[in-house]
Amino acid sequence: MNTREPAEAGRTEERVLAKIIVVTSGKGGVGKTTSSAAIGTGLALRGFKTAIIDFDVGLRNLDLIMGCERRVVYDFVNVINKEATLNQALIKDKRTPNLFILPASQTRDKDALSQEGVQAVLNELSRDFDYIVCDSPAGIEKGAQMALYYADIAVVVTNPEVSSVRDSDRILGILQSKTRRVEAGEEPVQEHLLLTRYNPARVQAGEMLSVQDVEDILAIPLIGVIPESEAVLKASNQGMPVILDQETEAGQAYSDAVARLLGEVVEHRFLEVQKKGFFKRLLGGK
């Protein structure tokens, strides 16, 4: 993991404000929190000072996936209500330097988020972070809209099935109309597609939409395809972002996605059924 200069360069007077990334999907259970944890960790591993915010007030999950649930004292809503400072609420990750988690409140609901409150927290974080990853709740209501309103970049997490694709399409429509950037007449939010739970064997059997099918419908650039893997479930149950397990295909696929998010050109992997047959090797297939 090479540490690059942005984190250091960022400390000079002419600091650029943090980039705000929203991880969203519309549909629930497609892997938003897993992806937020992986992308946030991936950015921190590359030396960027990163904060991950759990916007799912009332259904707090990010802390579990990051394995910091026992260290939650104050939360996002406390900071918004000025019951705690941002520094009190931010949890420093034990495994990855440069990584901080702002947990959601479990005892409140989405109405506890106010536009001004969210803006104040993001502004404060922007001053000394490089990236802010907003883990959006499912749905298209207030919580989700609040998570994407201030975004510069959107990662739309989609499963290769029709209902998930339809919901992602809906969220893309909201990204085009209800963000600060649109209202201020700035460049629109950069949209990226992250396809999760991809199973090449089932695609081949015609049981799942292919990468091409999904790209054809959503028509936004693809930053990653995460293969369906037991490693993902295992990692979240252990409270460890799957990207830290570079032995697994899912971990490697998330690393590739983070590289593409940063503008690097990386070839897509894990799209084909893995066959290590005798003939394939003989004919020089990889």
Partner 1 sequence: MNQLSFQLKGSVVTAIVLELYRYSRADFSAELSAKVRQAPMFFHQTPVVISLEKLEADAPAIDFPELIALCRDFGLRPMAFKGAPTALADVLEATGLVLIPAGQGGRAPVPESAVPEPEVVVRTVVEEKLVHRPSKIITRPIRSGQQVYAEGSDLIVMAAVSEGAEILADGHIHVYGPLRGRALAGVRGDVQARIFCQSLEAELVSVAGNFKLSDSLRELSWKAPSQVYLQDDTLHVDAL
Interface contacts to partner 1, rule CB under 8 A: 140, 166-167, 169-170, 172-174, 176-177, 217, 219
Report in angstroms how near the CB of residue 145 gets to partner 1 at its nearest: 13
91, 71 in Cβ contact below 8 A? yes
DSSP 257: H
CB neighbours of 4 closer than 8 A, spacing ≥ 6?
Answer: 46, 47
In this complex, which beta carbon is closest to partner 1, that of residue 75 or of residue 167?
167
DSSP SS3 for 196: strand
101 φ/ψ angles, rounded to the nearest 5 degrees: -125, 135
Report in angstroms how near the CB of residue 140 gets to partner 1 at its nearest: 8
19, 125 in Cβ contact below 8 A? no
135, 33 in Cβ contact below 8 A? yes
In this complex, which beta carbon is closest to partner 1, that of residue 27 or of residue 260?
27
Report in angstroms how near the CB of residue 191 gets to partner 1 at its nearest: 10
66, 27 in Cβ contact below 8 A? no
In this complex, which beta carbon is closest to partner 1, that of residue 161 or of residue 169?
169
In this complex, which beta carbon is closest to partner 1, that of residue 187 or of residue 230?
187
Half-sphere exposure in the Cβ direction for 70 (13 Å, CA): 3
Report in angstroms how near the CB of residue 233 gets to partner 1 at its nearest: 30
Report in angstroms how near the CB of residue 247 gets to partner 1 at its nearest: 38
261, 131 in Cβ contact below 8 A? no
In this complex, which beta carbon is closest to partner 1, that of residue 172 or of residue 232?
172
Tell me the two tokens of residue 188: 């629109």
Report in angstroms how near the CB of residue 166 gets to partner 1 at its nearest: 6
In this complex, which beta carbon is closest to partner 1, that of residue 105 or of residue 136?
136
In terms of residues, how long is the chain? 286
